[in-house]
Amino acid sequence: MTIFCCPKCGAAFQREHNRYRCEKGHAYDRAGSGYVNLLPPGGKQHGDSKEMLRARRAFLQSGAYEPLQSAICHVAKRALTVAVPTVLDAGCGEGYYTGALCRALPEARVYGIDVSKDAVKMCDGLHMGADFAAASVYALPVLPASCDLVISVFSPFAGEEFARVLKDEGYLISVIPDARHLYALKSVLYDVPYENKVESYEAQGFDFLGAEKLSFTMELDTKEKILSLFAMTPYYHRTGAEGQRRVRELEKLSCEASFQVLLYRKKNLENT
């Protein structure tokens, strides 16, 4: 069984050893590490680069974002009540939060999707006990009403697709940066740093259930940690030569990490 479906016709897949095949004969091979490429053929590589992914893995494995990882798992466990939940990490990156969900919810069926093939290659699905696919969150190759929970951590918010793949009254967890997230880093990069804009919590097709705010200070005491953080952020490609020089000269950095973990429930249209 799998929630993945054929990206060409939308039909359900049957699993044949290391291949997915739909009733119309469209077939996709699974790689040895447990992911399948369901992106349209051709076109340029999308998503994070190998450099950004390696930096993110190095930074996250240092434990710097462990409080956020724990908060996500806590909210997920509190929301889910079914015995064997199906969980989709939409925009899973290299699998840091997906792996944590597998450990926190050992009874769950966990899936991860990312538009970057390099990212899902790094997700060792066979080790995690999860299935991964390269695909866009805006065109999820996932069966309708197949998920109890969708997770979106710093990823594009594809509300219509999330609602489509969620069961009635299924849950959505969206993680966004709070206003002061990484403000100290931006103070180094830019002459005039700015706070992040926090958008409205409203999401069409969902009831907003609440926000869990999380803030902590990271003491980055090596150049490696500082540069890994910098390289995994969108500022890496937006910063000019002077800002790049400033951050590369840093020996240490005390930096606030500030997040909001938002919980939504899909509206049951039959009861509205």
207: Cβ–Cβ under 8 A, 6 or more apart, which residues? 264, 265, 266, 267
**Are the beta carbons of 15 and 2 closer than 8 angstroms?**
yes
Tell me, what's the pLDDT at 83?
A: 94
**Which of 251, 177, 249 is closest to 213 using CA atoms?**
177
Q: What residues contact residue 23 under an 8 Å CB cut-off, 6+ apart?
A: 11, 12, 14
pTM value > 0.75? yes
Residue 21 burial (C-beta neighbours within 10 Å; 0-12, 13-18, 19+): middle
pLDDT given for residue 34 in this prediction: 80
Mean pLDDT by 10 residues, the chain (272 residues): 94 91 95 88 71 90 95 97 96 94 96 93 80 95 98 95 96 97 96 92 95 96 94 88 94 97 88 51
User: First-to-last CA distance in the chain?
Assistant: 32
Q: Give the per-residue pLDDT at 50.
A: 83
pLDDT at 175: 97
C-alpha 137/C-alpha 157 separation (Å) is: 8
